[in-house]
Structure 1
Amino acid sequence: MTLKDRRKALGYSQERFAALVGVDRTTVGRWDRGETEPQPEYRPKMAAVLRVGLVVLDALIKESSASPEPDTGSPSHDVYGPGEDDMIRREFLRVLAVAGAVAALSAEESDVVADAAVRDDAAGFLRMNEHLWQVYQLARSKASVRPVVTGQLTALNESLSDRPSPHGPRCVAAGDLFQLAGELAFDGNRYTDAAAAYSLAASASKEAGAFDLWACALVRHAYVEMAGGQYREAVGLLSVAERVAKRGDSSLSTRQWVAAVQAEAHAGLGHTPECEQALDQAETVLHLGAEAHNGGWLRFDGSRLAEERGARYVQLGQLDKAEDALHDALRQGALAKGQSFRRRGVVLVDLAAIGAKRQDADQMLTYATEALRLARQSSSGYVARRLQGLQAEIGSLVDDRRVAELGAEIAALSAS
């Protein structure tokens, strides 16, 4: 077995493993291919992350060096290569640059299209985007939506290439659609692709002067940072998102969503007062009207407040308060009959984490087993990743045969 084999068996992407060890993803790629060996200062942390002793780690490193992967001349990617996604992003950046240049030219120097035609074109894309968000939310397997989103991005790029100016209305459509593309990548644990999509969404939204759309792109980018344990970086991003949202529409729930995610980042840093303050700010969404969200790129409507608060209390170690809030979330989801497999799975993982922290094997197994079932049914990489994180909480429970078997099932799910 090589380093790469062990890493993937535990469900770690190159990005996640790099974040845990404290190196760049490209360094992990070189270790995977046997091109270089880890320096001694990284080995104790690697051994802990891979759950092996230093002797076994040394054997994995030697096996990797003895069986190097062929150098294809291109970067290593765990799931998807740069391929079509990367080409779409490069094309959009080229079109955006051309559009900006054309817009700066005088009317005599540029071929300006009628505003009405552009608005009609953009409206068509926005209607399709709205439909795709609905499909995404209802889809049991999020990955099944990827081909049609890719097709929509290609069509939007072609539209921008054909008529690069004026480009504001279609940049709104791009800022919307790239956020959906980022969601798909994030759910599949492709953090680099997700970050790239959210960055493009922010750029397009800024170009269009769509402040709420722009703020939401920054919020989603913060989730990528938190997935890698980079909570301080997430706080910085969210601070910018907060300032951008203040320039947006106060009747929308953008500011409340920013606050909800700020609570998560502060909880990750152990900042209880800041977390509580942000949660209270998020709850002001309940005072907004029915049109506070659009069900697409902005979906924060207050229905997740219980699960958000419960999850934050888990992070902060306030287990009794967390358990009450999470059970409320499950009850609310059952009554509404609209809680997705992904959302329910995350609540169950948090309840399992409470059992693990209490060293209560029965509680941990009850909730984790159900979450594992939902992760398999939905093919959600996000729920699988949350289950993988549960492994770090198990501690002495690993001596329980049932817990060990569950850990093997989680590892197999993450690897697949």
Structure 2
Amino acid sequence: MSLAKRRKALGYSQEGLAAKLGVDRTTVGRWETGKGVPQPPLRPKLARLLNVDLAALGTLLTEPTARLDEPAESHSHDAYGPGDDDMIRREFLRVIAVAGTLAALSAEEAEAVADEAARDAADGYQSMNGHLWKVYQLARSKRSVQPIVRDQLAALNVSLGDGEGPFGGLCVAAGDLFQLAGELAFDGNQHTDAAASYSLAASASKEAGAFDLWACALVRHAYVEMASANYREAVGLLSAAARVAKRGDSSLSTRQWVAAVQAEAHAGLGNLTECERALEEAETVVHLGKHAHNGGWLRFDGSRLAEERGARYVQMGRLDLAEAALTSALDQTALAKGHSYRRRGSVLVDLAALGAKRRDPEQVVSYGHEALRLARQSSSGYVARRLRGLQAEIGSLATDRRVAELGAEIAALSTT
């Protein structure tokens, strides 16, 4: 039975059910057509209204009723590519609800469910995830990693649904993998899909009690808000991430990464005092050991602090402080092992923006063209988005022919 059939059997209209849940009618419509799923806080209330348990609700949600005004073969396009990937995310939510009951089993029952071979399966997923993060970081074109991540998600969903492995271990693997999926979506400027992936990552990490993993999912979600200049919303997410991180492992750099991103959010609000405070906290990463990060979902090691500080000063118009930090950062990206095109491109855009604020067309053109070259080489949507932001900065210099040509090339890049 589908969600729509269950609703009708109980005599609810879409409007009536939506009113009891405090959501819009169209939201219920999206659930019924499989274009969305209820957020975790709504699920218990929805289950009570439909007189089903959470597991049965999950089953209802995986059988959407097609709308009569849409073609039967329409597909969604999300973070992992076209086709049935949205189904993968819905299936994950369902199996989380079902598998969550394992946490309530007695020790003897849990041992019967999760034997040694199953634990090995969970470890295998996490090992594969670590490999995928390395491939993602080194790949010139991030989108090339999407098919592998999609297949890994599908396999992980099957294991969760079949109870193959300890629930907590599989949730950790899911929290990790959904963060990588979100990174792929974010790099491709698919912000809604990125936010959905990060929300799933946070939910899975919370289920597993993996506080550092959970905090990192919230940090990445904050980046989505900042990409739309929603700095106050980002500050709220980061405050939550900081609270979660305090419950995690103090030997990891999670708390310092949260602080580094808080600096960006405060800079967006023009709050120099809070920005400086957050940067100082982020710099305490130098006191941690070499195992403070894992190179996957947690990569913050302090090596980017110079560019972070320079970018924040540019953001707030403190040009006197920005150039030395950014020039040092640019040198570091050139020397970094397996250096990131996205990272170097970001620093180049900041230096070009600094030139625009100084009304120095030579600096704008020099750094801007180099960033443009990297964006083309890597197909990075992130660097392309930063370049589009640069267009607003160079508007006053458009009378310079070279600057005008750079602006035209950036505009052409944004449409490809």
Q: TM over 0.5, yes or no?
A: yes
Separation (CA, whole Å) in 2 of partners of 1:76 and 1:87: 9
How big is the shift at 1:100?
1.5
- Give, as a single letter, the amino acid of the residue that structure 1 aligns with 2:372: L
Q: Does the C-alpha gap of structure 1 residues 77 and 148 become closer, same or farther in structure 2, counting only changes over 3 Å?
A: closer
Mapped to 1, the partners of 2:196 and 2:384 lie a distance apart of 22
> Does the 8 Å contact 1:132/1:149 carry over to 2?
yes
Structure 1 residues 81 and 288: alpha-carbon distance in aligned structure 2, compared to 1, 3 A threshold:
closer
Code of the aligned partner of 2:376: R
Structure 1 residue 174 corresponds to structure 2 residue 174: yes
CA contact (8 A) 1:103 1:165 kept: no
CA distance in 1, matches of 2:78, 2:118: 39
What is the alpha-carbon distance in structure 1 between the residues aligned to residue 71 and residue 282 of structure 2? 48
Unaligned runs of 5+ in 1: 1-25, 27-69
8 A contact 2:81–2:146 mirrored in 1: no
Say if 1:352 and 1:365, in contact at 8 Å, map to a contact too: yes
Question: Normalization by structure 2: what TM-score?
Answer: 0.79
Contact 2:130 2:296 in 1 (8 A): yes
Map 1:237-276; keep pairs closer than 5 Å: 237-276=237-276
Q: Which residue of 2 aligns with 1:91?
A: 91
Q: Which residue of 2 aligns with 1:130?
A: 130
Q: 1:373 to 1:234 in 2, by over 3 A?
A: same
User: What does the per-residue CA deviation read over 1:280-325, in whole Å, with 9 as the maximum and x for residues that have no partner?
Assistant: 0000000100000000000000110111001000111111211110
> Any residues of structure 2 matched to 1:227-376 within 5 Å, and which?
227-376=227-376
Matched, 1:114 2:107: no
SS of residue matched to 2:296: coil
**CA deviations over 1:253-304 (Å, ceiling 9, x no partner):** 0000000000000000000000000000000000100000000000000110
Counterparts of 1:380 and 1:406, CA distance in 2 = 18
Structure 1 residue 139: Cα displacement: 0.3
Cα distance in 1 between the residues matched to 2:203 and 2:96: 9
Q: Which moved more, 1:333-342 or 1:284-293?
A: 333-342
Question: 5+ residue gaps in structure 2?
Answer: 1-25, 27-68
Matches for 1:7-156 after TM superposition, within 5 Å: 83-104=83-104, 112-156=112-156
Q: Does 1:415 align with 2:415?
A: yes
Aligned partners of 1:182 and 1:195 also within 8 Å: yes
Partner-residue secondary structure (3-state), 2:398: helix
Range 390-399 or range 228-237, more displaced = 390-399
Deviations for 1:322-360, whole angstroms, at most 9, x for unmatched residues?
111010011122233442111100000000000111121
Q: 1:43: which partner in 2?
A: none
Q: Is the 8 A contact 1:323 1:351 kept in 2?
A: yes
Query: CA 1:128 to 1:79, structure 2 compared with 1: closer, same or farther past 3 Å?
Result: closer
Q: 1:117 offset after TM fit, Å?
A: 3.0
Q: Spell out, residue by residue over 1:195-238, the C-alpha distance to the aligned partner (whole angstroms, 9 max, x if none).
A: 00000000000000000000000000000000011000000000
Structure 1 stretch displaced more, 350-359 or 333-342? 333-342
Q: What is the match of residue 397 of structure 1?
A: 397
State the one-letter code of the partner of 2:168: G
Distance 1:80 1:200, change over 3 A: closer
CA distance in 1, matches of 2:80, 2:412: 19
Q: How many residues align?
A: 348
The structure with higher relative contact order (CA 8 Å, sep 6+) is: 1
- Give the partner amino acid of 1:361: P
Change (3 A) 1:126 1:76: closer
Give the letter aligned to residue 276 of structure 1. E
Shift in Å, 1:403: 1.6
Decide whether the 8 Å contact of 1:310 with 1:325 is kept in 2.
Answer: yes
> Deviation of residue 399 (structure 1)?
1.7
The answer on whether the counterparts of 1:102 and 1:165 sit within 8 Å (CA) in structure 2 is no
What is the CA distance between 1:77 and its match in structure 2? Answer: 6.6
**CA shift in 2, pair 1:71/1:124, >3 Å:** closer
Q: Which whole-Å deviations, capped at 9, do the CAs of 1:98-139 have from their partners, x for residues lacking one?
A: 112354466899995134233211100011000000000000
**Residue 113 of structure 2 aligns to a residue in which SS?**
coil
3-state SS of the aligned residue for 1:399?
Answer: coil
Using the alignment, how far apart are the partners of 2:230 and 2:334 within structure 1? Answer: 33
Contact 2:95 2:157 survives alignment (8 Å): yes
Q: For 2:101 and 2:372, locate their aligned partners in 1 and report how far apart those are by CA, in whole Å.
A: 51
Contact 1:307-1:329 within 8 A present in 2 as well: yes
Q: Secondary structure at the match of 1:293?
A: coil
Checking the alignment, whether the CA contact within 8 Å between 2:168 and 2:207 is kept in structure 1 is yes
Shift of 1:391: 0.8
Say if 1:254 and 1:298, in contact at 8 Å, map to a contact too.
Answer: yes
TM-score with structure 1 length normalisation?
0.79
**Aligned 8 A contact 2:113 2:165 in 1:** yes
Match of 2:56 in 1: none
* Percent identity of equivalent pairs: 78
For 1:108 and 1:287, how far apart are their aligned partners in 2?
43
- Identify the residue that residue 48 of structure 1 maps to in structure 2: none
